[in-house]
Amino acid sequence: METTHDCLPCFIRQALEAVRFATSDQDVHESVLRRVLTAAADMDLKQSPPLMGQVIHRLVRQISGNDDPYKSVKAASNRFALKMYPLLKEKIEKSAAPVETAVRFAIAGNIIDFGVNNEISPEIIEATIERSLTDSLCGSRNVLQQFVFPGKKILYLGDNAGEIVFDRMLIEKLSADRIFYAVRGGPVINDATLADAEETGMTGLVDVVDNGSDAPGTVLSECSADFLRLFEDADFVIAKGQGNFETLSHVNKPIVFLLKAKCPVIARHIGCDIGTAVIWQRFFPTD
């Protein structure tokens, strides 16, 4: 997905929010802002928005000297989501349609995104999950009815810390031959990395791989050879969140995207309202 003109002011706002998150030093804030403004002025708009996200968060880490500004936020999100796990797990098991319920929770968990909005509170998360069972889903419900993959190799692309616990609940309900779970190759915003997979029990459940890149999405041209082999070998990819959607929605591969449409550009692109739970596929195995 290409970068739109509407993304440009949003990049500058995101840079300011991120650098304020990383340090209280106003000289660093100004320095990051000036560098991001310069980078945005020259940006190739054919690139997907997460490429600028990568530039922004590299500058924030480099200039602030803080290698992982969202480290404590990620740990807190994981703890918070793990506390919800037993109750939500029970709701899934008691549900008339456990896979659909798990998918709905997995999409609701995508609200834990500090890239779009860094004022995510426990109340907002709980309210989103509460509503997720009755909210309308934008996309194809047919996809949901075929959400079992016997004999198939699945690659599940994670998005954020905290949210990864909701991914775990969905993976626990998936029938597949083998499931791999991918995280980012290094810290960027509150995106899940290997540390989050370990903290949330994902590593004990399936094979976890990192994609070798610190972009807040899946930029295939930057991913490691190991990750690319898994991506090619997978019969089916489940991709969480806006960043993975923005970087992979054009790729010729059976991928289903599960996300909350959190910004007007994505919502317009998909054809839904902001805040909608989205299940979107370009190709599906039965096509």
Which residues form the interface with a second copy (CB under 8 A)?
Answer: 5-6, 8-10, 12-13, 16, 26, 29-30, 33-35, 37-38, 40-42, 45
Q: Give whole-number Cα distances, 234 to 60, 113, 226, 227, in Å.
A: 34, 27, 12, 11
Nearer to a second copy, 14 or 281 (CB): 14
Nearer to a second copy, 14 or 244 (CB): 14
CB of 166 to a second copy, least distance (A): 31
Where residue 212 falls (left for φ over 0; alpha for ψ -120 to 50; beta otherwise) is left
Helix pair angle (98-108, 163-171), 10° resolution: 160
Query: Which residue type occupies 154?
Result: I
- By CB atoms closer than 10 A (0-12, 13-18, 19+), residue 118 is middle
Nearer to a second copy, 19 or 223 (CB): 19
Residue with tokens 């907002």: 124
CB of 62 to a second copy, least distance (A): 17
Nearer to a second copy, 33 or 75 (CB): 33
Distance CA 143, CA 68 (A): 36
Nearer to a second copy, 41 or 225 (CB): 41
HSE at residue 232, side-chain half, CA atoms within 13 A, is 8
CB of 38 to a second copy, least distance (A): 4
Nearer to a second copy, 10 or 272 (CB): 10
CB of 30 to a second copy, least distance (A): 7
HSE at residue 150, side-chain half, CA atoms within 13 A, is 0
CB of 35 to a second copy, least distance (A): 8
CB of 101 to a second copy, least distance (A): 39
